[in-house]
Structure 1
């Protein structure tokens, strides 16, 4: 009989690429991961890994077993959901990942709704860039998370995960000057301006760069800042222009002009495949939908 815990290790190796990365993500030692995978090979009766020096790759049999592991893990999530549903009431920790603007604009109201409807649940919120959510969910560090994507940066399909739309918001070009509430503009108008972007490796940074490239230029980046309130303060100080989503405009300085862009950011609720029917996941999803601020569109 194949051990589910070892199947999870094999799945993580297929996604992360190295035994060291799997060990770090799941709080094991590399030697422990290697030993467990060796045991899984003996259980399977065929080679699952090819070792070349320090590198390890999956054999065709290993890749095929990973596909079955995905289905097994999803069914286990569904089984866990049904067991919880059979009990009376929801209780215990609920680990929620979110990004900063949603933490401020959506999550507090959602937690108020959740506490009223399910006082036994203990929500635990952690801020995390959407780019890191998939690994955290698969590793069991989070139960549910808010993620976002942009028109120019769609999220890739992630093995073992599922997501449902929450809301959609307008993107703006923030520039120094008196507010005008102008109509949509061509980004190329700002090709010679200094730009303020998020830090490299984030979806927000990739969105700005790709949107500018689609307009025919590469942005000349002066500052790299993740917090939108600080970004807007720098814009007001004449330090450059930036792209900011609607939820990032709470602390808008008076000396900033906003111009609508033909770009939207969409927020989704992500969880492990098969966990959508878990009562706790369904409860926070319902609370999040109830907490979406007025003026935001559907997340599709």
Structure 2
């Protein structure tokens, strides 16, 4: 019997989440792909592993036994990977990281260029996901690490099985159409009467900004709901409203926009999340070091005590 690690990972998620749809979403596969792979796993082992009850799935006795062993097998593979990396004279590894737009366009190119020069044996591949989804993809094993965000007024829910290493702290700035900024600095409440360009309320960014506005005494009048900061900036440049943007989002600003410092700025922390069991993986730590160096080059460095290089949320 030959067992596929990918199929075992799918069975593990099916056991955890109860539906093929939920397992597929967690692993970033289509539902049909997961169903096909689980059917092949049943063929591999020669036993029925699950039965359907409406939309939910119940594992059979054989399925439960294999799911329990899948947890052990997958943890053993992670430990073996770490142990092998430690034995190598040169540092070589292939890591997959979760990114989102402003990180991918600003921090990541500088970090990977530095990494390629100092440690050419480390290959980093990336997948762009919504910031709300990246930590979950690390937890289920489809990513080795991911960039995550916490806003000063709206922390992201945290899985205690993951470790978070702080990379940078950013300010959010007001961005206004050309010729409309009333002063060099302003409060968030000063934007109450303007139309807004903002991400939807289900996004972490959109929710954090709405909370900040509400605490400043107003509900933003959102004329255009868009997900990407680059899109929002282009719409602001066209005179369609105001928005907030982070330091990284201003790496390539469109011409004409006016960036105004807020006297009561909303802050956000950028971190790298990884599984706690991977804390000793040297290639992962070298990637983190390279990203920190890139952040420092942009003036976003965070000073942490040398004896406590990572921060874990409980």
TM-score range with shorter-chain normalisation? Answer: 0.7 to 0.9
- Cα 1:112–1:128 shift into 2, 3 Å: same
1:71-111: CA deviation from partner (whole Å, max 9, x where unpaired): 98556534421221112223343222222112222111111
Deviations for 1:12-67, whole angstroms, at most 9, x for unmatched residues?
Answer: 24654422332463675437548969x99x9xxxxx99975332479xxx99xx99
Q: Which residue of 1 aligns with 2:266?
A: 263
Distance in 1 (alpha carbons) for counterparts of 2:58 and 2:191: 46
1:54 alignment partner in structure 2: 55
Q: Does the 8 Å contact 1:74/1:275 carry over to 2? A: no
CA distance in 1, matches of 2:289, 2:8: 32
- Residues 244-255 of structure 1: pairs in structure 2 closer than 5 A: 244-250=245-251, 251=253, 253-255=255-257
CA RMSD of aligned residues (A): 3.8
Q: Match for residue 209 of structure 2?
A: 208
Counterpart Cα distance in 1 of 2:119 and 2:224: 43
1:113 matched to 2:127: no
Uncovered stretches (5+) of structure 2, i.e. residues with no partner: 304-310
Q: Counterpart of 1:30?
A: 35
Structure 2 SS opposite 1:266: strand
- Relative distance call for 1:54 and 1:97 in structure 2 (3 A) is closer
Q: 1:111-136 CA distances to partner (integer Å, 9 max, x unpaired)?
A: 11111121122222332221121343
In the alignment, structure 1 segments of 5+ residues that lack a partner are: 43-47
Partner residue of 1:191? 192
Structure 1 CA distance for aligned equivalents of residues 170 and 123 of structure 2: 29
SS at the partner of 2:278?
A: coil
Deviates more, 1:281-290 or 1:129-138: 129-138
Q: SS at 1:89's partner residue?
A: coil
Matched with 1:86 is 87
Are the counterparts in 1 of residues 197 and 223 from structure 2 also a CA contact under 8 Å?
A: yes
Residue 262 of structure 1: SS of its match in structure 2?
coil
For residues 9 and 96 of structure 1, do their structure 2 counterparts lie closer, same or farther at Cα, with a shift above 3 Å needed? closer
Q: Against the structure 1 CA distance between its residues 55 and 126, is the aligned structure 2 distance closer, same or farther, given a 3 Å change threshold? A: closer
Q: CA separation of 1:174/1:49 partners in 2, compared to 1, >3 Å: closer, same or farther?
A: same
Aligned to 2:288: 285
How many residues end up aligned between the 2 structures?
A: 288
User: What secondary structure does 2:218 align onto?
Assistant: coil
Deviations 1:140-194 (A, max 9, x none): 43222222221233121126432211110111122232484315x1x33333321
Change (3 A) 1:209 1:290: same
* TM-score, length-scaled by structure 1: 0.77
Which shifted more, 8-17 or 142-151?
8-17
SS across alignment from 1:134: helix
Alpha-carbon contact 1:179-1:256 (below 8 Å) kept: no
- The question of whether the paired residues in 1 share the 8 Å contact of 2:82 and 2:278 is answered with yes
Q: Residue 283 and residue 197 in structure 1: after superposition, are their counterparts in 2 closer, same or farther (change >3 A)?
A: same
